[in-house]
A and B are shown apart, each in its own frame.
Chain A
Amino acid sequence: MNRFALLSLYRSLTRHKLYAALNIGGLAIGIAVFIVLGLYVRFETSFETWLPHHNEIYAIQSDWKDQSSPFAGRYVETMGGLLDELREDFPDLVGTRIMGGKHGGIVQRGNTAVTEDVAMVDPSFFEVFDLPMISGDKDGALAKPDAALISESAAKRYFGQSDPVGQTLRVSMWEPKNYRVAGVFKDLPDNSDFTISVLIPLPENMREINSNWHHWGNSSLQTYLRFRNPAAAARFDAAMPALIDRRGRAYLGDKPSDIFGLVLLPVTDMHLEPNGNAASSAKMTLVTLGLVGTFALLIALINYINLATARAGLRAREVAMRKVLGADRRAVMRQFLAEAMLMVALASLLGLILAELGLPLINAAGGLSLTIPYALVVPALVLLTLVAGFLAGIYPALVLSRYQPAAVLASSRSPGGGRAGTRVREALVVLQFGLAIAFLIGTGVLVAQTQHVRNADTGFQREGLMTVMSLRDSQVDPTQSRAFIQEVRALPNVRAAALANTVVGGSGTRNADNVPLPGVPGDGPLVIWEIVGPDFFEVYAPRLIAGRLFDGRTADDRANTAQGQPDNVLINRQAVGVLGFDSPDDAVGKTVGGDHLRTTIGVVDNLSFFGPRAPTDPTIYYYYADPLRTGNIVASIRFTGDPRAFHEQLEEIWQKIVPQVPFDAQTADEQLIQFYEDDERATRLFAIGAGFAVLIGMVGLWGLASFNTARRVKEIGIRKSLGASATDIVKLLVGQFMRPVLIANLIAWPLAYFAMRTWLAGFDDRIALSPLYFVGASLVAIAIAVLTVLGQSLRASRTAPAWALRHD
């Protein structure tokens, strides 16, 4: 590109500022959206890649194969003693267990106790997870039973500026114990699902502490292995069924490998792999957001190409003159390609600036902490500049360099790329609008589903409901729990308070048993069972569908039976069919169970404790007058007034009664947020990306419409001199743009239908994919398109014919 070509480009940009702004600005926004969503995708796919040797690390998944079980699926959890048993068969195995993690323990400082991300691990932990150290020594540290390694931020929190190594930290997982800090490791990065700030060794006598340590089928911790290469991992995987059959028979029946498996999962896949029976939505969300980013960029590129080719026609005379002056075809092509690349480079730079400026907003909207890795983004943008510049420049370059100078210079009008050029532009507008309409439909459905889920009937009232989770801590003894709940019940703003082994959001464990059905051979269906104390159904108040609720005064409701379990049970609606009843009414008075028959006294509606994606499991409720006789009991409290003030009230009582354990209470909404936040974040990011994509599309249409209208000024003059009214002209110009927009629906509807159907399938409770979303989005697109071109058409329609006829 010679100096004159550069000059002429620069002056063309500065003279036609609006087109330059549309052209470069639109592309810059597209690039910014692409960068931001690309960063998000990169972040989500980068989990655990920060770990040294991450390609060699695998988690062991427990695979429950019985699809009828509520627990079916693969979980990154194993029984505690699995690693010991594996080592007996594979003596060279490199592995570690991680027990605990997020809020896994308590650190006591003086009279206060703080919940901390404590994990108990094997001495071989660092052979698998080679965490970068700040100070101290990791080698062999965890072999000492009283050694602890802490994170950089935990070190600051507990020891301030002084050197933590050698100091004492009192940590409790189930009983308090003093540990000496042996070293400080770097804080784990954001792109990690491991939440660990204190590492302590697993006690050697775990078998005595936990009677289920070697119970096949039990899940109490995570087991990680490190293999030298994928082939070694594959050999290990292949050996598992035989090992399970040999070792698990005593617990899992004759052929344990039929119902249970152990499967290796690369640690880098863990983040996007669904746990258990959760829907595998993470990957799809990510692909969708990646596509939104790519399509936003594509729409912007189409814009650029459309505007560039349309306007390039205006430069035909310049090209012809250059050819007359001796430029050959290649020189002209070079010029246009270089121009396009320069423009895309400008847009990339601007896009990068926009991304940098917009990132804080995106981070706020998505609860993220993304930053732009320039070392990666800059080369990527250079590549984009070359590729996109080539794509955007090649068409004008080919068309313009082909012009015969004699024909161009003889004509008083500039060629516009001919009919073929117009068709290509129209096809690109169709594609662009197709994507934009699909995005609008997608946004509509996503927002509607998110709203639906937010307002969905969970079976209980979410407001005025508090859960107290710290009751389940092993350091809280039942006397303290009773004292606490008693004082809470006495509060004037408490309407009901109940103890149970379940709460909204889950209490951390779930239990299921096979329930043999009378007259039906076999073990019967697997049904979740929950222990509930007095007032549980007052707190949650599910609809009573049939029969009656528990009544504390009825002897049968109490757990004073032979096996210590009650005779009367309540079931939820989901259990009606599973337990073989025709209807809720049919269930009332009937008995279920094998050795111990239990009578169903009532059916309550489903309580949805685990968010919108999780199906409600068939559940049996047992009534215990004093649930604290069993383990893992938490409290649910129905209250009135301000939740924050109530939280403080509760904490005060707690501190008085159980000072040694940190208070942990959350409202129902706080408990549920974990199930909503991913979808809501994805929806927000999608809406932002889609919004920008639509905006870019509109900008492009506006530019193209304004260009076309300007080119047709003379035609408008002729038509008006022949008697066309202003309305006729507006109809003509608007109609010209309606056609591609209408055809675009043909692309948009099926695309959006399949995408949204797949996305909605991940929800147990979902909205219907109504045609209204499609029609609505198309109407919005048409309205926007009409408004976009209307202003210019109106102005053009008012042109004086005499002036228009002189216009070239």
Chain B
Amino acid sequence: MIKLENIERRYISDEVETTALVGVNLDVAEGEFLAIMGPSGCGKSTLLNTLGTIDRPTSGHYWFADTDLAAMAEKDLARFRAARLGFVFQSFNLIDELTIEENIALGLAYRKDVSGNKADRVAAAMDTVGIAHRARHFPHQLSGGQQQRAAIARAIVGDPKLILADEPTGNLDTANGEQVMDILSALNASGATIVMVTHSPSHADMAKRRIDMLDGRIVASAMRAI
């Protein structure tokens, strides 16, 4: 489904050039659950952001199905994200002024092609992550685990092809972390493609494949033994 060819990402600020990604080649098949690991600053998040089109590679090709996203206009990318991608962040990034239900519905707000009743889909997403009883609450009224589940519901409400999770358990305690991982595994089992950045080896082990990064390169790739 995804093919990255020789992706490079360099940042230039105040005359200092930082290379975040160097010659990254990666294939992600439909239905895969891929974990990305590596030390801080190795380029994990940059790779994930590149996959999520919220960061553009300096060079290389990013094929999604048969389209090269690296060359796509910003406006089209926005439309692409709305239709195909779901994001989960370490710090949840829920909007404080909106209720949980409204935050989740926001996942459909920028899509023009939503089939069926939006409210039903929001309700279904909330049911999936077990947050329906908190629908009318605001983010700050929820625990971290609940907030992250809400963020996952927001990511999946649009029925995306690809879910990108950036350290989804990084801000959570063990119990809540496990809950979130269970949800992601279940989503994957029901057909969703997931790419997840994590520091936790045990959580990485729940993925079907794991790649390790160092200094902007993929240094190892391993399939989970089943």
The chain A residues found within 8 Å of chain B, CB to CB, are 2-4, 7-12, 15, 317-318, 320-331, 404-406, 409-410, 412
Which chain B residues border A2 with CB–CB below 8 Å?
109
Shortest C-beta distance, B12 to chain A (Å), equals 13
Which chain A residues border B182 with CB–CB below 8 Å?
none
How many residue pairs link A and B with beta carbons under 8 A? The number is: 87
- Nearest residue (CB) in A for B95 is A318
Give chain B interface residues in 60-112, CB to chain A under 8 Å.
74-75, 78-83, 87, 89, 91, 93-98, 102, 105-107, 109-111
Contact A4 B102 (CB under 8 A): yes
Which chain B residues border A327 with CB–CB below 8 Å?
78, 82, 109-110
In the complex where A406-B49, A406-B54 touch, is A325 in contact with B98 (Cβ < 8 A)?
no
- Nearest residue (CB) in A for B76 is A328
A-B contacts, 19 of them at CB < 8 A, read A3-B109, A4-B98, A4-B102, A4-B105, A11-B97, A317-B93, A322-B110, A324-B54, A324-B87, A325-B81, A326-B79, A326-B81, A327-B109, A328-B74, A328-B79, A329-B78, A406-B49, A406-B52, A409-B89
**CA distance in complex: A8, B55 (Å):** 26
Contact B78 A8 (CB under 8 A): no
Contact A328 B75 (CB under 8 A): yes
Shortest C-beta distance, B167 to chain A (Å), equals 11
Contact B79 A321 (CB under 8 A): no
Which chain B residues border A12 with CB–CB below 8 Å?
97
Which chain B residues border A329 with CB–CB below 8 Å?
74-75, 78
State the main secondary structure of chain B at its contact with A.
Answer: helix
Query: Is B45 interfacial (CB-CB < 8 Å)?
Result: yes
Which chain A residues border B95 with CB–CB below 8 Å?
4, 8, 318, 321
**CA distance in complex: A326, B45 (Å):** 19
In the complex where A12-B97, A325-B81, A328-B78 touch, is A7 in contact with B49 (Cβ < 8 A)?
no
Contact A326 B83 (CB under 8 A): yes
Contact A325 B109 (CB under 8 A): yes
The 3 closest A-B pairs by CB, nearest first: A326-B82, A326-B110, A328-B78
Which chain A residues border B105 with CB–CB below 8 Å?
4
Contact A331 B98 (CB under 8 A): no
- Nearest residue (CB) in B for A411 is B91
Contact A405 B54 (CB under 8 A): yes
Shortest C-beta distance, B54 to chain A (Å), equals 4
State the main secondary structure of chain A at its contact with B.
Answer: helix
In the complex where A326-B79, A326-B82, A409-B89 touch, is A4 in contact with B52 (Cβ < 8 A)?
no
**CA distance in complex: A405, B77 (Å):** 13
Which chain B residues border A11 with CB–CB below 8 Å?
97-98
Which chain B residues border A404 with CB–CB below 8 Å?
54-55
**CA distance in complex: A320, B93 (Å):** 9
Which chain A residues border B74 with CB–CB below 8 Å?
328-329
**CA distance in complex: A322, B102 (Å):** 13
Which chain B residues border A322 with CB–CB below 8 Å?
106, 110
In the complex where A317-B93, A324-B54 touch, is A7 in contact with B102 (Cβ < 8 A)?
yes
- Nearest residue (CB) in B for A10 is B97
Contact A4 B54 (CB under 8 A): no
Which chain A residues border B82 with CB–CB below 8 Å?
325-327
- Nearest residue (CB) in B for A11 is B97
- Nearest residue (CB) in A for B83 is A326
Interface centre among B81, B91, B105, B106 (most CB of A within 10 A): B106
Contact A331 B110 (CB under 8 A): yes
Shortest C-beta distance, B73 to chain A (Å), equals 10
Shortest C-beta distance, A2 to chain B (Å), equals 5
Which chain B residues border A330 with CB–CB below 8 Å?
75
**CA distance in complex: A410, B46 (Å):** 10
- Nearest residue (CB) in B for A14 is B97
Contact B93 A409 (CB under 8 A): yes
Shortest C-beta distance, A209 to chain B (Å), equals 83
**CA distance in complex: A199, B147 (Å):** 83
**CA distance in complex: A476, B52 (Å):** 101
Picked from B75, B93, B97, B110, the residue with its CB within 8 Å of the CB of A15 is B97
Interface centre among A4, A7, A326, A405 (most CB of B within 10 A): A326
**CA distance in complex: A687, B95 (Å):** 45
Which chain A residues border B49 with CB–CB below 8 Å?
406, 410
Contact B78 A323 (CB under 8 A): yes
Which chain A residues border B110 with CB–CB below 8 Å?
322, 325-327, 331
Which chain B residues border A320 with CB–CB below 8 Å?
54, 93
Which chain B residues border A410 with CB–CB below 8 Å?
45, 49
Picked from A3, A15, A321, A324, the residue with its CB within 8 Å of the CB of B52 is A324
**CA distance in complex: A8, B98 (Å):** 6
- Nearest residue (CB) in B for A314 is B96
Known: A321-B95, A323-B81, A406-B46. 12 other contacts (CB 8 A): A7-B97, A9-B97, A11-B98, A318-B97, A322-B106, A325-B81, A325-B154, A327-B110, A328-B78, A331-B110, A406-B49, A406-B54
**CA distance in complex: A318, B91 (Å):** 13
Which chain A residues border B45 with CB–CB below 8 Å?
406, 410
- Nearest residue (CB) in B for A808 is B91
Which chain B residues border A3 with CB–CB below 8 Å?
109
**CA distance in complex: A426, B45 (Å):** 36
Which chain A residues border B46 with CB–CB below 8 Å?
406
Which chain A residues border B96 with CB–CB below 8 Å?
15, 318
Which chain B residues border A10 with CB–CB below 8 Å?
97
**CA distance in complex: A206, B98 (Å):** 85
**CA distance in complex: A325, B108 (Å):** 8
- Nearest residue (CB) in A for B92 is A321
Shortest C-beta distance, B155 to chain A (Å), equals 9
Contact A406 B93 (CB under 8 A): no
**CA distance in complex: A12, B138 (Å):** 12
Give chain B interface residues in 106-163, CB to chain A under 8 Å.
106-107, 109-111, 154
Contact B81 A324 (CB under 8 A): yes
- Nearest residue (CB) in A for B77 is A328
Interface centre among B82, B87, B89, B109 (most CB of A within 10 A): B109
Which chain A residues border B94 with CB–CB below 8 Å?
321
Interface centre among B46, B89, B97 (most CB of A within 10 A): B97
Contact A326 B78 (CB under 8 A): yes
**CA distance in complex: A476, B97 (Å):** 82
Which chain A residues border B83 with CB–CB below 8 Å?
326
**CA distance in complex: A324, B155 (Å):** 10
Shortest C-beta distance, B114 to chain A (Å), equals 11
**CA distance in complex: A728, B13 (Å):** 32
- Nearest residue (CB) in B for A16 is B97
Shortest C-beta distance, B128 to chain A (Å), equals 18
**CA distance in complex: A323, B75 (Å):** 10
- Nearest residue (CB) in B for A9 is B97
**CA distance in complex: A725, B13 (Å):** 34
Which chain B residues border A15 with CB–CB below 8 Å?
96-97
- Nearest residue (CB) in A for B52 is A324
Shortest C-beta distance, A299 to chain B (Å), equals 29
**CA distance in complex: A330, B73 (Å):** 13
Which chain B residues border A9 with CB–CB below 8 Å?
97
Which chain B residues border A321 with CB–CB below 8 Å?
93-95, 106
Give chain B interface residues in 173-223, CB to chain A under 8 Å.
none
Contact B109 A4 (CB under 8 A): yes
Shortest C-beta distance, B139 to chain A (Å), equals 11
**CA distance in complex: A329, B78 (Å):** 9
Shortest C-beta distance, A597 to chain B (Å), equals 93
**CA distance in complex: A409, B197 (Å):** 15
Contact B55 A406 (CB under 8 A): yes
Which chain A residues border B81 with CB–CB below 8 Å?
323-326
Which chain B residues border A325 with CB–CB below 8 Å?
81-82, 87, 106-107, 109-110, 154
Shortest C-beta distance, B225 to chain A (Å), equals 33
- Nearest residue (CB) in B for A407 is B55
Shortest C-beta distance, B71 to chain A (Å), equals 17
Interface centre among B49, B80, B95 (most CB of A within 10 A): B95
- Nearest residue (CB) in B for A320 is B93
Which chain A residues border B107 with CB–CB below 8 Å?
325
Shortest C-beta distance, A378 to chain B (Å), equals 31
Shortest C-beta distance, A525 to chain B (Å), equals 78
Shortest C-beta distance, A10 to chain B (Å), equals 8
- Nearest residue (CB) in A for B86 is A325
